[in-house]
Amino acid sequence: MVFTPSPMLLKLLYTRGSLHNLPHSGVAFSIKNRLDNVNLTGFKQVQIGEVVIPAEKIHVDLGNGERRAATDINADGRAIELPVGRSLEVFLDTPRLAEGMHPVQIWFSTDAFGDLHVEVEDAIVGLASFKPHIPRSQEDDYSEAAIAARQRFAEEFSGKQFQHLKRYSFDPHVLKGNCEHFTGVAQIPVGLAGPLLVNGEHAQGEFLIPMATTEGTLVASYNRGMQVLNLCGGVKCTVIGDAMQRAPVFVFSDARGARDFGKWVEESIEQIRPQAESTSSVAKLQYIDTYLSNKFAYLRFNFSTGDAAGQNMVGRATFAACSWILENYRGAKVEHFYLESNFATDKKASQINVMRTRGKRVVAEAVVKRDVLQQRMRVTPEQLAYHGQVSNVGAFLSGANNNGAHSANGITAMFIATGQDVANVSESSAGVLYSEVTAEGDLYISITIPSLIVATHGGGTGLATQNECLEMLGCVGRGTVRKFAEIVAGVVLAGELSLGAAISSSDWVSSHEQYGRNR
């Protein structure tokens, strides 16, 4: 099912800033499908100011050197495929425009949306002074020729020769959708820790852990923590929450309008759900939270996203839902709408994600035997538990999003190794560490990771070395993302145990001196 775009959203089909004069004569601009997969079935006319340009004077650039006359676009076998994300440049046989603002109107049609009329304003600006541009190919930007051109450009621009940057062992075409202007690779060392014994609901058994890092002692420290956990029966891991968000905002003229809108959304969830889920066979809308402030209604859409992290997936799904909302809400006028209000806190640590979950909410816990802790870590359960209380005060005073030691270290190293979106460490590093001395005199230790954003499908998970590292963990294939989340949580707990003990026993500095100095 394809959603119906509201007039407010139709403006997004035009690429602002794309209006420009052609070198000799004529004018051009770009449109980009930011709505849903459709076919362009007609292009009637364009109007700039008072000048109407009919279809006979319009051509559409399809890429790869192919242009199509607007009069040759129709639904009878001459439609143009226009999937989400595709851009088309439109060429107009009309006199050049003067610098300044110009109203632009476009009339065209698609198989899904029917006849569309888009009205925007754009500007013609003077030519900027020439600056060198990174080479790229319209035909195949991942070809050997295109990559070699960028490598030469980088060497000429910097005056340096690059030997290692240019070496890689995979077909660059697999990077489409992962990296633009591909020029080479950054080789990051991968060390192995473990195996780690995980007693999860999805991850069960021993796992060899690939960790990509340039920080000395990191792999050794995590490996030490894993050995201790293994000697005590392993680490118990549980996924207790799973949701990915997009948080649009609707702006009204006053607070009452926002309040009434929030009530309507709550009452209309069963009508909104199929609209959101129409864009994906995977994304499922769980619930919508409404937060009101001033004259703003912030909606926090919560989805399950299968094995994908899902930020893009839920963005598209929420866009479809909001388009239906804008079209069907009959209350106070929506003055403005933004698909993301900064309330989902994408790529940022936040308290709402600690409280409400973003990605996977995972708990890793273990009971560490007193004798193992003393023999292997040179600390007692009482020392570590007391040290944890002191650290809690420090974390509270500093306003940190984590009262533990360094969960970001293990998470980042695993993210790089397995092709995760590394910027998600900003959210995923949040953690709540707890420890206590048991009645038997052992140490109970656990960490809750409230916003662990991971994937075993999509993004960079299918790339060469990244996919091999996921294969090492047995986390390739359908239904493996929670398994991966449990393994990551277990690794994090191993690191907390190791570094906490090192600080308590004063081994921290000496260990870095031994393993972490590159003299």
**How many helices (H) and strands (E) are present in the chain, helices listed first?**
14, 20
Catalytic residue selected from 141, 242, 421, 442: 421
Tell me if residue 215 is catalytic. Answer: yes
Rounded to whole angstroms, the Cα distance separating 298 from 275 reads 19
CA distance 322 to 375: 59
Query: Is 421 assigned a catalytic role?
Result: yes
**DSSP code of residue 6:** P
> In angstroms, how far is CA 401 from the centroid of its own chain?
20
In 23-147, where do the E strands start and end? 27-32, 38-48, 51-54, 58-63, 66-69, 80-82, 87-92, 100-110, 114-124
* Catalytic site residue from 215, 289, 340, 468: 215
Q: Cis check for the bond before 195: say yes or no (omega within 30 of 0).
A: yes
Helix residue ranges, H only, 249-310: 255-267, 269-277
Burial of 349 (0-12, 13-18, 19+ CB in 10 A): middle
CA distances from 339 to 294, 312, 317, 444, 501 (A): 18, 12, 11, 44, 45
Pair 231, 372: CB distance under 8 Å: yes
Say which of 111, 327, 340, 512 is annotated catalytic. 512
- Cβ(151)–Cβ(162) under 8 Å? yes
The CA distance from 97 to 78, in Å, is 31
Question: Is residue 59 flagged as an active site residue?
Answer: no
Closest CA to 408 of 435, 394, 392, 427: 427
Tokens standing for 111?
Answer: 């198989």
Q: Give CA separation, 224 vs 373, 496, 497, in Å.
A: 11, 11, 9
Q: How many CB atoms sit inside 10 A of residue 455's CB?
A: 27
* Residues known to be catalytic: 215, 421, 512
